[in-house]
């Protein structure tokens, strides 16, 4: 993360983090009353989505820190919760929806963390198995130089046993994480893709080798692990390449440490097409054979998705037969044809994942 300037809006002025973060980063600071002024300036840049990656807005989260994952209609959702610590990302993926989601996007980090911990206490007290992650509107590990929030959260989650935190990343930045004392209440998760997708579509992310090496490092410290093959992208030779990623993964990672692996194919809201085509002219990903699905997103034709999933699932099952596999946002037919069952056979996807987390991370349900 290369931040050239910090902006502090009026709402955050009195929060201790609005003083601590500028001290840590040592870059120029501007106090702005209304962030609209900043957004207007960034929007005028030749590439606003890139300009927004080098400015940091310190502001308050005006809504809830804990939110339900929006999921998508007509597809099986996993009942995940989002811990909304900040927004946008210093890395730059051609398919990233955040480019089109915010207008214009800028890095934002929320300074009212007292409210976040209060909400977490309420969440823990519910006593249900909770699965929550910070990697939905940002990457979970890019903020550590700004403020080591991942480290603090790992420690906070270690003090309870009803919920797990999933830190999802495309970095290899694991050095700030506690080596001990996490009590398995944090799952360290990596998004994985093929070498060619990483090289061509995921600018400034860690290489596949570095991601696997980082996973190996935290595995040695006893963290439970997860991996997300998402978004899987179709291109000539992709089936062999994805199987090759699985081979590399299991040559270094012990399947018995993996809580789950998810699979999802590239899908996008139509608004992304213009932004990705403008910012990634050498990328052809938005020009494949897509259909507009029931949720309004563009998806590969179903038979192509099923074939893509099947080849990777076959290889994963060969190497790691006991690992729980699931789809992020797929329909019943895809589950049935690619995995051979639907989540309903096991009480639903949410329950399947809860049970896995309970077993592997030692969670206890105390509520109904």
Sign of the CA dihedral with 153 first, then 156, 158, and 160 last: negative
Q: Where are the alpha helices (DSSP H) in the chain?
A: 17-25, 36-43, 48-51, 98-101, 113-125, 149-157, 195-201, 208-220, 238-252, 271-279, 302-319, 332-334, 349-361
Residue 276 binds to ligand SF4 (criterion: CB under 6 A)? no
The reply on whether position 312 binds ligand SF4 by CB under 6 A is no
- SS3 of 59-110: the string is ECCCCCCEEECCCCCCCECCCCEEECCEECCCCEECCCCHHHHCCCCCEEEE
Closest approach, Cβ 318 to ligand SF4, in A, equals 29
Tokens 């900040």 sit at which residue? 86
Closest approach, Cβ 138 to ligand SF4, in A, equals 6
What's the full length of the chain, in residues? 368
For ligand SF4, the closer CB: 89 or 233? 89
| Nearest distance in Å: CB 96, ligand SF4 | 3
| CB 93, min distance to ligand SF4, A | 3
Residue bearing tokens 């099986």? 76
**162 or 191, CB closer to ligand SF4?**
191
Tell whether residue 98 is a contact of ligand SF4 (CB under 6 A).
yes
CB-CB contact of 259 with 219 (8 Å)? no
How far apart are the C-alpha atoms of 312 and 229, rounded to whole Å? Answer: 9
Between 45 and 183, name the residue whose CB sits nearer to ligand SF4: 45
Residues 338-367 that bind ligand SF4 (CB under 6 A): none
* Residue of the chain from 15, 139, 230, 354 that contacts ligand SF4 (CB under 6 A): 139
Q: Does 15 bind ligand SF4 (CB under 6 A)?
A: no
- How many CB atoms are closer than 10 A to CB 4? 12
Burial of 274 (0-12, 13-18, 19+ CB in 10 A): exposed
Up-side HSE of residue 32: CA atoms within 13 Å toward CB? 20
Closest approach, Cβ 68 to ligand SF4, in A, equals 19
Q: How far apart are CB 67 and ligand SF4 at their closest, in Å?
A: 16
Q: Assess 170 for contact with ligand SF4 (CB under 6 A).
A: yes
To ligand SF4, the closest distance from the beta carbon of 362 in angstroms equals 29
Nearest approach, Cβ of residue 168 and ligand SF4 (Å): 8
d(C-alpha 272, C-alpha 269), whole Å: 6
Site string for ligand SF4, 76-95 (x = CB under 6 A): -------------x-xxx--
- Please say whether the dihedral angle defined by the alpha carbons of residues 297, 299, 301 and 302, taken in this order, is positive or negative: negative
136 binds ligand SF4 (CB under 6 A): no
Cβ neighbors of 337 (< 8 A, separation 6 or more) are: 306, 310
Binding mask 212-251 vs ligand SF4 (x if CB under 6 A, - otherwise)?
Answer: ----------------------------------------
Q: Which is nearer to ligand SF4, 87 or 306 (CB)?
A: 87
96 belongs to the binding site for ligand SF4 (CB under 6 A): yes
Q: How many residues bind ligand SF4, per CB under 6 A? A: 10
3-state secondary structure of 334: helix
Binding mask 175-214 for ligand SF4 (x = CB under 6 A): ------------------------------x---------
- Cα 290 to Cα 304: distance, rounded to the nearest angstrom: 10
Tokens 């977490």, residue located = 120
| Min dist. Cβ of residue 214 to ligand SF4 (A) | 14
Query: Which C-beta is closer to ligand SF4: that of 139 or that of 166?
Result: 139
Nearer Cβ to ligand SF4 (55/243): 55
Give the nearest distance from C-beta 249 to ligand SF4 in angstroms.
Answer: 19
Q: Cα 118 to the chain's mean position, in Å?
A: 23
Residues in touch with ligand SF4 (CB under 6 A): 89, 91-93, 96, 98, 138-139, 170, 205
């Amino acid at each position: 993360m290369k931040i050239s300037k910090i902006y502090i809006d009026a709402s955050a002025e009195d929060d201790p983090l609005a003083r601590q973060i500028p001290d840590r980063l040592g870059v120029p600071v501007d106090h702005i009353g209304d962030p609209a002024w900043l957004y207007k300036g960034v929007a005028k840049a030749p590439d606003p989505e890139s300009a927004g990656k080098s400015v940091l807005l310190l502001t308050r989260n005006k809504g809830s820190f804990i939110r339900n994952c929006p999921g998508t209609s007509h597809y099986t959702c996993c009942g995940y919760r989002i811990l909304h610590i900040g927004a946008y990302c210093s890395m730059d993926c051609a398919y990233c929806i955040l480019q089109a989601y915010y207008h214009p996007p800028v890095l934002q980090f929320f300074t009212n963390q007292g409210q976040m911990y209060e909400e977490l206490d309420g969440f823990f007290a519910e006593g249900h198995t909770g699965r929550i992650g910070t990697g939905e509107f940002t990457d979970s590990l890019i903020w550590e130089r700004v403020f080591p929030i991942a480290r603090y959260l790992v420690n906070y989650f270690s003090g309870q046993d009803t919920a797990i935190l999933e830190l999802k990343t495309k970095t290899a930045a694991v050095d700030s994480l506690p080596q001990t004392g996490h009590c398995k209440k944090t799952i360290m998760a990596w998004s994985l893709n093929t070498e060619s997708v990483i090289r061509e579509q995921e600018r400034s992310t860690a290489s596949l080798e570095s991601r696997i090496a980082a996973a190996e490092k935290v595995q040695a410290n006893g963290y439970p692990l997860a991996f997300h093959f998402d978004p899987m992208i179709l291109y000539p030779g992709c089936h062999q390449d994805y199987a090759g990623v699985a081979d590399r993964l299991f040559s270094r990672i012990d399947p018995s440490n993996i809580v789950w692996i998810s699979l999802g194919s590239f899908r996008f809201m139509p608004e992304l097409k213009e932004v990705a085509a403008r910012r990634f002219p050498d990328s052809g990903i938005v020009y494949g054979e897509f259909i507009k699905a029931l949720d309004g997103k563009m998806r590969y034709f179903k038979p192509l998705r099923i074939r893509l999933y099947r080849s990777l699932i076959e290889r994963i099952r060969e190497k790691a037969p006991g690992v729980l596999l699931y789809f992020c946002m797929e329909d019943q037919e895809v589950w049935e044809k690619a995995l051979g069952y639907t989540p309903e056979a096991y009480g639903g996807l949410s329950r399947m994942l809860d049970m896995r987390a309970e077993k592997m991370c030692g969670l206890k349900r105390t509520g109904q």
